[in-house]
Amino acid sequence: MTDDSLQGRVALVTGASSGIGAATATVLADRGARVALLARRQDRLDELVGEITLAGGTALGVPVDVTDADALTAAADRAAATLGPADLVVNNAGVMLPAPVEQLRTDQWQRQIDLNVSAAMHTIGAVVPQLVSAAAEGRRADLVNTSSIAAENIFPNFAVYAATKAFITHLSRHLRVELGAKDVRVTAIEPGIVGTELQDHVTDPGAREWLDDTRDTVEWLTPQDVAEVIAFTAALPRHVNLQQVTIMPTRQAT
Ligand code: NDP
């Protein structure tokens, strides 16, 4: 039986060229949403849009560097002009670059802050008017922010990444109250380890070793696992807001 629980919805997904974002865009389109996919790599976006279209869905690839606030606003406007105003935003682009703080990898601190914090805020700024007006029309409207279990737990050498995710989780709690008054739901998704390209960017040998070790003992989540939870969250009745969802691999302790 076909699941069309998101029929009529218009979604915008950042970080849609790989991992959780790509899987989420695909699942949302499969459930009936029209989906804008935002990321930098046009070839990956073209490929995904092709796959979604072939499967009978509607998708638009919008290549953009989301750390460029003006370009991001233009991308959100282009998506709205083509697909209609967004009522389901998955604010997901992110990067994880662990390293001992004494190494003073200020370049990596900045990259994480620019993408995980500043670009996430600019994404919210670009889409909130669309979400508020969708809700005012009586439609379901969702802002789903991808945080991490790192927002809650302590992972040595992941301090800056974890702090950016704590920002996202705490921000989400506040925005849920602020926007909930306007019937916009806000959700923080906090996954444990998911097998994606995120781990490929890690340069610190200690962190790489830790990740490799967990792979031997824990069956990591797949991007599809997280995508299914996001689709479920968005399909709930309008008066139900999953505020914070922690998704762990069964064998991952913290
Ligand atoms: P991926 O590396 O697979 O995906 C990251 C996405 O972000 C890519 O689509 C990438 O596309 C995009 N991106 C990176 N920089 C930019 C930029 N400047 N402008 C636009 N897009 C950008 O990792 P995940 O799918 O794992 O990560 C998605 C989210 O999930 C992140 O916020 C991450 O912190 C979070 N998360 C991941 C976990 C995991 O274990 N994998 C666990 C908990 C949370 P492109 O390079 O084409 O721009």
CA distance 225 to 235: 16
Reading the block at residue 123, the tokens are: 């994404």
Distances (CA, A) of 38 to 14, 16, 92, 167: 5, 6, 10, 22
Flag whether 252 is in a domain. no
Mutate to test the pocket of ligand 1, among 12, 13, 14, 18 (most ligand atoms within 8 A of CB): 18
Q: Residue 216 and residue 98: Cα distance in Å, rounded?
A: 20
3-state SS assignment for residue 214: helix
CATH number at residue 170: 3.40.50.720
The number of the ligand 1 atom at minimal distance from the alpha carbon of 200 is 2
Which tokens hold the place of 167? 């920002």
- Expressed as residue numbers, the domain containing 151 is 10-247
Is 187 among the residues known to form the active site?
A: no
Cβ count near 201 (within 10 Å): 11
Total structural domains within the chain: 1
In a domain, 98, yes or no: yes
- Answer whether residue 253 is part of any domain: no
- 1 within domain boundaries: no
Q: Is 115 helix (H, G, I), strand (E, B) or coil?
A: helix
pLDDT score of 2: 85
Report the pLDDT value the prediction gives residue 1, as an integer from 0 to 100.
60
Half-sphere exposure of 76 (CA within 13 A, CB side): 26
**Active-site position among 161, 164, 179, 229:** 161
Closest ligand 1 atom to residue 96 Cα is 34
**Domain membership flag for residue 36:** yes
H-assigned helices in 142-186: 159-180
- Whether 168 is covered by a domain: the verdict is yes
Distance CA 45, CA 38 (A): 8
The predicted structure's pLDDT at residue 174: 98
Mutate to test the pocket of ligand 1, among 112, 118, 194 (most ligand atoms within 8 A of CB): 194
Residue 155 phi/psi, 5-degree rounding, is: -125, 105
pLDDT in tens, the chain (254 residues): 689 999 999 999 999 999 999 999 999 999 999 999 999 999 999 999 999 999 999 999 999 999 999 999 999 999 999 999 999 999 999 999 999 999 999 999 999 999 999 999 999 999 999 999 999 999 999 999 999 999 999 999 999 999 999 999 999 999 999 999 999 999 999 999 999 999 999 999 999 999 999 999 999 999 999 999 999 999 999 999 999 999 999 999 99
